[in-house]
């Protein structure tokens, strides 16, 4: 049998080992050198530790003695019968070789066990990591549920508003929402056709684009309109509510007599309805006298205006009314016009229209009735 490398020994040591008696060598092997007999090996606790000189030589001596005995026993070993090729290496070799093979097999088995345990540990670690991540995601979802619900609500609201806006824009600019009718309400002396003719340009345009500024621009040329209000009635109607100017007097104009309101705006010529209005006698439009008369005319009730035939104003503080019955009124200035109008109306109700009298209301708390 060939010794492994590192176990070659000198001839002197080999001869010394071979000269020992077989029984003594057997006892020495069984007692001290057999490293695989745990019951015969000296206890680490009872045996003294190796000295410094024996630390290197002792393992080598044991190995040399063991391999020497194996060499001597090899020739006397019975020849084993031939075995199949699959089991040719089993049971052969010395005791040390069998132990060495068993040791290597045990090491391989241990390595396989270690690899299996490592793979199992990695699988367990991956499973634990996935479970931890799943739990973390569940916790995040639980703690952010309110925020996600608010965000979802906000997104739905924004989407609804955007959709409604798109629908509204589509309807506004569609032909279904175009102006097809203009209605005029509140016209008493003004012909509604005049207003409809002025707003004819709005027909056909989107109803949402009809504004009061645009309507005012078109109605500015009609002096009878004092103010107005526009109502848009979907899908295709525009309603104009008018407040007409109130004619209060007849003033001389360039082409003849014209009807004016309290602001001095010319409303047109005199017709059957306005022919009974009082005439301004010697009062120029825009003068201080006219301003005082205009303030008075705003406060006078229609019954007094209908009974007045002529208005004179030598000065802003001396306004005089000539009634159709022949009676006259000393009005004075434009102050307290509302009270003066009430007093004049009450005095006319108590006087005989056939008697020409002068009603002095310059001091409305103390009116005076005098004969003419």
Which of the residue ranges 29-33, 177-181, 291-295, 361-365 would you say has the lowest mean pLDDT?
29-33
Class of domain 178-244: alpha beta
What pLDDT is stored for residue 372 in this prediction?
Answer: 63
pLDDT over 80 (residue 26)? no
Instruction: Evaluate if residue 224 carries a pLDDT over 70.
Output: yes
CA gap 324, 247 in Å, rounded? 19
What are 71-125's pLDDT values in tens digits?
444 444 444 444 444 444 445 668 888 888 889 999 999 999 999 999 999 999 9
What percentage of the chain carries pLDDT values higher than 70?
74
Q: Which range has the top average pLDDT, 49-53, 119-123, 147-151, 301-305?
A: 119-123
The whole-number pLDDT of residue 281 equals 87
Peptide bond into 154 cis (omega under 30): no
| pLDDT given at position 46 | 42
Quick: pLDDT tens for 149-193: 888 899 999 999 999 888 877 777 777 778 889 999 988 888 899
Query: Looking at residue 168, what is its pLDDT?
Result: 76
Burial class (CB in 10 A: 0-12, 13-18, 19+), 372: exposed
Decide if pLDDT at 11 tops 80: no
Alpha-carbon distance 366 to 233, whole Å?
A: 55
pLDDT mean over 206-234: 88
Q: State residue 273's pLDDT score.
A: 81
Give the integer Cα–Cα distance in Å for 263 and 291. Answer: 8
Q: Taking a C-beta distance cutoff of 8 angstroms, is the pair 288, 333 a contact?
A: no
Does 178-244 match 253-371 in CATH topology?
Answer: no
Mean pLDDT, rounded, for 124-143: 91
pLDDT at position 244 over 70: yes
Q: What is the pLDDT of residue 123?
A: 94
Position 115 scores a pLDDT of: 94
Average pLDDT (221-241) is 89
Average pLDDT, the chain: 77
Q: Give the domain ranges of the chain.
A: 144-173, 178-244, 253-371
pTM above 0.85, yes or no: no
What pLDDT, in 10s, does the model give residues 306-365?
A: 888 999 999 999 999 998 888 899 999 988 888 998 898 888 888 887 888 899 999 989
Q: Which two tokens stand for residue 135?
A: 């739990």
CB 326 within 8 A of CB 307: no
Position 166 scores a pLDDT of 85
* Weakest-pLDDT range from 6-15, 164-173, 197-206, 257-266: 6-15
Percent of the chain scoring above 90 in pLDDT: 23
CA–CA gap between residue 320 and residue 312 (Å, rounded): 5
DSSP string, 108-171: HHHHHHHHHHHHHHHHHHHHHHHHHHHHHHHHHHHHTHHHHHHHHHHHHHHHHHHHHHHHHHHH
Q: Are 355 and 342 in contact (CB under 8 A)?
A: no
Task: Report the distance separating Cα 258 and Cα 249, nearest Å.
Answer: 9
- CATH number for the segment(s) 253-371: 3.40.50
Is a pLDDT exceeding 70 seen at residue 30?
no
What is the pLDDT, as a whole number, of residue 174? Answer: 75
Range 8-16 average pLDDT: 47
Please give the pLDDT value at position 304. Answer: 82
Model pLDDT, residue 354: 80
* Residue 220 reports pLDDT greater than 70: yes
Q: Confidence class of residue 229 from pLDDT cuts 50, 70 and 90?
A: very high
pLDDT at 70: 46
């Amino acid at each position: 049998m060939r010794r492994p490398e590192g176990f070659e020994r000198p001839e002197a040591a080999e001869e010394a080992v071979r000269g020992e008696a077989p029984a003594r060598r057997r006892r020495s092997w069984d007692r001290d050198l057999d490293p695989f007999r745990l019951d015969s090996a000296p206890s680490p606790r009872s045996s003294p530790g190796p000295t410094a000189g024996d630390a290197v030589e002792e393992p080598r001596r044991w190995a040399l003695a063991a391999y020497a005995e194996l060499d001597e026993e090899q020739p006397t070993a019975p020849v084993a019968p031939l075995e199949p090729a699959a089991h040719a290496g089993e049971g052969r070799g010395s005791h040390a070789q069998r132990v060495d093979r068993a040791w290597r097999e045990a090491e391989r088995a241990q390595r396989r066990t270690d690899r299996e345990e490592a793979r199992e540990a990695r699988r367990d670690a991956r499973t634990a990591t996935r479970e931890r991540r799943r739990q973390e995601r569940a916790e995040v979802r639980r703690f952010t549920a309110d925020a996600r619900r608010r965000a979802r609500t906000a997104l739905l609201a924004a989407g609804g508003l955007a959709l409604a806006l798109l629908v509204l824009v589509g309807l506004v600019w569609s032909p279904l929402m175009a102006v097809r009718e203009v209605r005029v309400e509140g016209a008493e002396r003004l012909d509604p056709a005049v207003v409809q003719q002025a707003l004819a340009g709005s027909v056909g345009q989107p109803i949402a684009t009809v504004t009061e500024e645009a309507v005012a621009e078109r109605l500015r040329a009609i002096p009878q309109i004092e103010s107005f209000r526009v109502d848009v009635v979907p899908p295709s109607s525009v309603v104009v509510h008018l407040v007409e100017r109130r004619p209060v007097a007849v003033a001389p104009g360039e082409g003849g007599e014209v009807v004016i309101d309290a602001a001095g705006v010319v409303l047109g010529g005199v017709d059957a309805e306005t022919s009974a209005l009082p005439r301004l006698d010697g009062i120029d439009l825009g003068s201080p006298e006219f301003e005082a008369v205009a303030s008075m005319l705003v406060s006078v009730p229609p019954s007094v205006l209908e009974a007045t035939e002529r208005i004179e104003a030598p000065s802003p503080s001396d306004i005089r009314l000539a009634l159709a019955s022949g009676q006259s009124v000393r009005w004075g200035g434009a102050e307290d016009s509302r009270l003066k109008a009430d007093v004049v109306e009450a005095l006319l109700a108590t006087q005989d229209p056939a008697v020409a009298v002068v009603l002095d209301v310059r001091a409305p708390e103390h009116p005076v009735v005098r004969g003419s």
